[in-house]
């Protein structure tokens, strides 16, 4: 006989469910039973519930689905604040030699730093696109998965790869790339070892060659075949800059979207970071194929890449989520601030005052992200039967107390403190602090590993 589920009751808070109707309750409740949401509704929780182990008074708070990050490079946590005034290609060329010196200990510490910063800010599902695998440096993928598992944060690890070095017309130096066969074999091994296809999976793997200018056409083709044979998702960078567009036209005789389509890289099992330089036919192709987009407004601004046409994508029916991108191009590494940045930047980009609303921004950061990661059945909204990934934001302090509309306050106001976040019904943050990891120890470890990397890479004496 299985034990009855332990229940957590959260009530007396505003609730933004982000369900299909955007249902909100000014004072509502959520009941969590085990790892699932059992009920969501207005007013207090139903009376007479058995097995209630915790009852949270949410007065002065807003309850939302946990935030879902759809694009990141965890290892960059230890190369922040470098090449701060460069465009994408110059920034990559400046950083590749340092990145090529990472090892397992550095990767693990950087993953902890990235995960801790996001989790503290309400992220319950993280994503890491890791594509730097120097030879003989240990089990980098395993170290990332260990860090997320220990912190209790849900993870999609996109096993990245690069096989087009400088001598093949690519951007990365030859010493930073793998061979085609090594990249495919290691990706398949990572899927076999770590991918969990179950509803409640804490770890999923995607196939993720890095970008058109760092991987061969064959790696894209065979990577897509591998992903579809294994039933996992596909991820890469696309249409990030004008330079990438020129690169594709010169080398392949077509723009990035047509190139991706020619290699099997448009489809409802694909999501792509950035998609900044998209003409109407490109957006139509993404909509037709249900290819997803990870919108990364801060990184695009930091690298002067441009402004993605998110309102046009949404109008066309393209699935869109939010990403922080690697923290070498977005030093804050926080997703909740991206809600605000997405709204502001898209209004600037479109010159339209309602181009993106606060509720649309919250949807991008929750349900939209779940959709592009292929997890919309399980996470991304507060609905009975879904996994209990949720965040209780404190809205009664100086920063937000005078704003009546709590969703507007969360998106437009200062970054709100997290009173409680649950992943699979288990607390990850309490009163603004991680409870599954020691933030101060992680801060020290990441500082030490950043210094060690700088020394090895010759950045410091």
Distance CA 176, CA 101 (A): 9
Structure tokens belonging to residue 205: 């793997």
- Backbone conformation region of residue 51, classed left if phi is above 0, alpha if psi is from -120 to 50, else beta: left
Which region, judged by CB under 5 A, interacts with Zn ion, from 14-22, 199-207, 323-331, 446-454? Answer: 323-331
Q: Which residue number, 92 or 191, has a Cβ lying nearer to Zn ion?
A: 92
User: In the complex, what is the shortest distance from the CB of residue 326 to Zn ion, in angstroms, rounded to a whole number?
Assistant: 5
Strand partners, 208: 160
User: In the complex, what is the shortest distance from the CB of residue 162 to Zn ion, in angstroms, rounded to a whole number?
Assistant: 13
Q: Which residue number, 325 or 449, has a Cβ lying nearer to Zn ion?
A: 325
User: In the complex, what is the shortest distance from the CB of residue 274 to Zn ion, in angstroms, rounded to a whole number?
Assistant: 7
Residue sitting closest to Zn ion (CB): 325
User: In the complex, what is the shortest distance from the CB of residue 71 to Zn ion, in angstroms, rounded to a whole number?
Assistant: 6
User: In the complex, what is the shortest distance from the CB of residue 377 to Zn ion, in angstroms, rounded to a whole number?
Assistant: 26
Q: Which residue number, 72 or 336, has a Cβ lying nearer to Zn ion?
A: 72
- Could you tell me if 166 and 172 are in contact, meaning their C-beta atoms sit under 8 angstroms apart? yes
Number of residues located near Zn ion, criterion CB under 5 A = 2
Which region, judged by CB under 5 A, interacts with Zn ion, from 115-123, 191-199, 319-327, 409-417? Answer: 319-327
Which region, judged by CB under 5 A, interacts with Zn ion, from 79-87, 103-111, 305-313, 324-332? Answer: 324-332
User: In the complex, what is the shortest distance from the CB of residue 242 to Zn ion, in angstroms, rounded to a whole number?
Assistant: 17
Which region, judged by CB under 5 A, interacts with Zn ion, from 111-119, 189-197, 322-330, 342-350? Answer: 322-330
Residues 247-286 that bind Zn ion (CB under 5 A): 273
User: In the complex, what is the shortest distance from the CB of residue 166 to Zn ion, in angstroms, rounded to a whole number?
Assistant: 20
Q: Which residue number, 324 or 391, has a Cβ lying nearer to Zn ion?
A: 324
Q: Which residue number, 219 or 273, has a Cβ lying nearer to Zn ion?
A: 273
User: In the complex, what is the shortest distance from the CB of residue 328 to Zn ion, in angstroms, rounded to a whole number?
Assistant: 9
Q: Which residue number, 205 or 296, has a Cβ lying nearer to Zn ion?
A: 296
Which region, judged by CB under 5 A, interacts with Zn ion, from 16-24, 242-250, 317-325, 397-405? Answer: 317-325
Q: Which residue number, 65 or 209, has a Cβ lying nearer to Zn ion?
A: 209
CA 358 to each of CA 2, 292, 322, 383, 403: distance values in angstroms, whole numbers, following the listed order: 43, 21, 14, 20, 13
Distance CA 18, CA 360 (A): 9
Tally of CB atoms within 10 A around 397: 11
User: In the complex, what is the shortest distance from the CB of residue 237 to Zn ion, in angstroms, rounded to a whole number?
Assistant: 5
User: In the complex, what is the shortest distance from the CB of residue 352 to Zn ion, in angstroms, rounded to a whole number?
Assistant: 27
Q: Which residue number, 143 or 327, has a Cβ lying nearer to Zn ion?
A: 327
Which region, judged by CB under 5 A, interacts with Zn ion, from 20-28, 188-196, 224-232, 318-326? Answer: 318-326
Q: Which residue number, 16 or 144, has a Cβ lying nearer to Zn ion?
A: 144
240 binding Zn ion? (CB under 5 A)? no
Q: Which residue number, 245 or 325, has a Cβ lying nearer to Zn ion?
A: 325
Which of residues 282, 325, 389, 449 is near Zn ion by CB under 5 A? 325
Binding site for Zn ion (CB under 5 A): 273, 325
């Amino acid at each position: 006989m299985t034990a009855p589920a332990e229940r957590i009751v959260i009530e007396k808070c505003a609730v933004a469910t982000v369900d299909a109707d955007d249902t909100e309750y000014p004072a509502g409740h959520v009941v969590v039973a085990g790892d699932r949401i059992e009920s969501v509704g207005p007013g207090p929780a139903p009376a007479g519930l058995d097995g209630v182990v915790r009852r949270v008074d949410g007065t002065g708070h807003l309850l939302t689905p946990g935030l879902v990050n759809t694009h990141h490079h965890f290892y960059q946590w230890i190369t922040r604040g470098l090449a701060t005034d460069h465009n994408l290609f110059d920034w990559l060329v400046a950083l590749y030699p340092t990145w090529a010196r990472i090892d397992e200990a550095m990767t693990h510490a950087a993953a902890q730093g990235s995960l801790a910063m996001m989790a503290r800010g309400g992220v319950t599902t993280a994503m890491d696109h890791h594509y730097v695998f120097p030879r003989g440096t240990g089990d980098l993928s395993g170290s990332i998965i260990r860090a997320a598992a220990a912190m209790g944060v849900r993870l999609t690890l996109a096993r990245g790869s690069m096989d087009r070095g400088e001598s093949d017309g690519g951007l990365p130096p030859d010493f930073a790339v793998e061979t085609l066969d090594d990249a495919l074999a290691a990706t398949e091994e990572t899927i076999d070892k770590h991918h969990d296809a179950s509803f409640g999976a804490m770890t999923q793997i995607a196939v993720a060659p890095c970008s058109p200018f760092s991987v061969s056409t064959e790696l894209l083709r065979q990577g897509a075949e591998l992903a579809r044979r294994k039933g996992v998702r596909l991820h890469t960078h696309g249409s990030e800059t004008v330079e990438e567009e020129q690169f594709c036209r010169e080398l392949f005789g077509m723009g990035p979207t047509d190139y991706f389509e020619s290699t099997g890289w448009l489809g409802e099992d694909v999501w792509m970071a950035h998609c900044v330089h998209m003409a109407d036919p490109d957006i139509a192709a993404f909509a037709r194929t249900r290819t997803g987009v990870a919108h990364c407004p801060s990184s695009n601004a930091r690298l002067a890449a441009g402004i993605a046409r998110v309102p046009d994508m949404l109008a066309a029916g393209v699935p869109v989520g939010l990403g922080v991108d690697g923290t070498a191009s977005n030093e804050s590494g926080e997703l909740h601030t991206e809600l605000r940045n997405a709204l502001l930047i898209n209004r600037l980009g479109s010159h339209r005052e309602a181009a993106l609303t606060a509720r649309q921004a919250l949807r991008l950061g929750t349900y939209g992200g779940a959709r592009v990661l292929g997890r919309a059945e399980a996470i991304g909204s507060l609905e009975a039967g879904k996994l209990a990934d949720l965040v209780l934001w404190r809205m009664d302090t100086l920063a937000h107390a005078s704003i009546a509309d709590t969703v507007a306050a969360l998106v437009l106001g200062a970054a709100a403190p997290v009173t409680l976040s649950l992943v699979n019904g288990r607390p990850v943050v309490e009163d603004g602090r991680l409870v599954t990891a020691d933030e101060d120890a992680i801060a020290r470890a990441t500082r030490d590993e950043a210094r060690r990397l700088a020394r090895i890479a010759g950045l410091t004496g």
